[in-house]
Chains A and B, each alone.
Chain A
Amino acid sequence: MLQLLKIEWLKVKNYRTFWILSALYLLSIWGINYIVYVIQSKIFHDKNAKDAAQMFLGGPPYAFPKVWAMTSYVSSYLLFIAGLIMIIIVTNEFSFKTHRQNIIDGETRTQFIVTKLMCGVVVALVSTLFVFLTAIFFGITAGEGTFSFENFEYIFYFFLQALSYCWLAVFFSLLFKRSGISIGVFFLYTIVLENVLVQALNYYANGTGRYLPIQSSDELLPLPFLEKVQQQISKTEVNVTLQLAFVLAYLVIYFFFSRRKFETDDL
């Protein structure tokens, strides 16, 4: 597997699009948290607003230990870019027909697709590592609270969500093969369409919207200071174990469907 990942490395090492996108994406993880950080610190430094904020929100969201959950939550809005990177990596192979050439040169179909899925793991891991560093940065900058790993499970949930985005992106790429349509459908589905479905299912089907592919991992990363309010609105508590089971089940589905599709298609 290391040898196969080394080959993937050779493919992206001199690929400028990949590096520019990745750099901007990682920078934006820090950036989007910075924006929210500035807004919340203004609120907490305003004497009038502070009391109200304290009442509703508890302590500042970027202080330990809430910072793990807060950074994970805020950063998750950028995960569609991680998906975009995966779509580019996979659909490039189709447009250059190098997926054929890799097989012709002696990779097995299984090796090829599993390596691509492992690239998704790498992208998810790097995203998570960056969220981890960003959280430490803002946690320390916020100054309140002492460093702790309480709530650290949110970083793990972030990883699961990142992986969900990446593998869903791989699956869409295999389905549509062309980058334009894959990106379009992926963005529209993850940003708009699934949320429409979530609302509809929650309303008409007894709250089952939370079990949809991306939403099931979204539920693991709630906005850390409105949990109480959210629960009031939806009248149910998030069953973490059940949500985790759904997330893992979807990951297994992406893995096996992607594999099966690539192993049986005419390439």
Chain B
Amino acid sequence: MDVLTLNGITKYYGRIRALNNVSFIVPEGSVFGILGPNGSGKTTMLGIIMDIIRPTSGSFTFFGAPPTAGMRKQIGTLLETPNFYHYLSAERNLRIAAEIKGKGHNQIDYVLRKVDLYQRKDSKFQTYSLGMKQRLAIASCLLGDPKVLVFDEPTNGLDPVGIAEIRELIKNIAAEGRTIIMASHLLDEVEKVCTHVGILKMGDLLAAGKVDEVLVNEDIVEVGAANIQLLEQTLHSLNGYTSLKKNKEVIQLLYPVGTANLENINEYCFKNGVVLNHLQLKKKSLETKFLELTNK
């Protein structure tokens, strides 16, 4: 069963097009990253599925059914910024969230401990640092044990330790079999945490699918030899790679994921009288791939 299905969502703010006919599917149990630069429409898209922004056209379904407020109660969502009553303590803020979700108050202490805010539960929200606010928002998402979580830039404003903690938390949540939809402009975050990814640019969905299919679809083998001309000639008769790029110092061979065999290449070159002085397997860098995709 797919958790979320988007069908041709388009959104205009006046004359500005924020989303253009975006469709994709979030499978159950996946960690789905929505990757895109600032202003690419990530928050707009999450806002639409949370019913706080009206799409200009298009529709979406949760678990195959049209969305309702009752379904939102089963989804923990952190959208854009932590939104709480500044004059209330963390605990009182969570009570309000729990009441709206129709859950008891007995989980409040548990979720506060989980994000390490239990000691400060009686402090007013306005006295919190940015990182604490963000963690409180995540605590609020965890109320009621939701099967689906939506995080918009969850590590925003956190220090490196906080970022690592949140990523660990997200991985743990995902390991419990929950589905996570996460927007981020950080590639590294998506690579580290997500199983699936959709790439947005200026409101267009450029690609969507499994992370290793969308982002790392090629292995690069770098080879070098003293006589680079001879090496190139030799490699032309080698089979298996999809393309060959010649740089100043090395030659790059691009292989479909998992098919590059360094031993074979080494052996082949040696047999043909070329001694390699450089042989390295590189996963295509995420950044390169991302830039390639978004610069189309």
Contact = CB atoms under 8 A, between A and B. Distances in A.
28 contacts: A10-B96, A11-B88, A14-B87, A15-B87, A15-B88, A96-B86, A97-B81, A97-B83, A98-B83, A98-B84, A103-B50, A103-B52, A104-B50, A104-B52, A104-B79, A105-B77, A105-B97, A105-B100, A106-B70, A106-B72, A106-B100, A107-B100, A109-B51, A265-B54, A266-B13, A266-B47, A266-B53, A266-B54
List of 8 A-B pairs having minimum Cβ-Cβ separation, nearest first: A106-B73, A101-B83, A97-B83, A105-B100, A267-B52, A108-B69, A106-B72, A266-B53
B263 interface: no
B135 interface: no
A3 B53 contact: no
Interface string A1-23: 00100110011001111000000
B92 A14 contact: yes
A14 B95 CA distance: 13
A264 interface: yes
A102 B87 CA distance: 17
A108 B72 CA distance: 10
A136 B81 CA distance: 50
B147 interface: no
> Which of A102, A111, A264, A266 has most B Cβ within 10 Å?
A266
Contacts of A7: 96, 99-100
B123 to A, nearest CB: 13
Contact of B100 (A16, A102, A264): A102
Interface string B43-57: 000010011111000
B110 interface: no
Given A96-B83, A265-B54, 13 more contacts: A3-B99, A10-B96, A11-B96, A100-B52, A101-B83, A101-B84, A103-B52, A105-B73, A105-B97, A106-B73, A106-B102, A107-B100, A264-B54
